Amino acid sequence: MTDCGCDKAKAELEEYLHRELSEQDFVDISDHLSTCVDCSSEHLVGLALSEKVRKACQEKAPDDLRAAVIGRLEQLQH
């Protein structure tokens, strides 16, 4: 197990949330989050924010706005 304190956990929180760490780093940070209230709180904020962004990115523009934007882009390409 590598040394995983608050600095490492906070610095790699974004990668942790997206499972972009090595397996060992993921385990180390998971272990740290299970015992550190401060880092665990930041992790929960990160989870909530990621979920809000994910949901917001699923929304689609209204058809008329989408058509207007595509039309303008086509005009600019010519």
CA–CA separation, 78 vs 75, rounded Å?
6
Place of tokens 């995983």: 4
Q: How do the domains of the chain map onto residue ranges?
A: 6-77
In this predicted model, what pLDDT tens digit does every residue of 21-32 receive, in sequence order?
999 999 999 999
Place of tokens 């760490």: 21
Query: What does the DSSP assignment read for 11-53?
Result: HTHHHHHTT-S-HHHHHHHHHHHHH-HHHHHHHHHHHHHHHHH
- Is 4's pLDDT higher than 90? no
Q: What CATH number is given for 6-77 in this structure?
A: 1.10.10
Local confidence band at 1 (pLDDT 50, 70, 90 cut-offs): very low
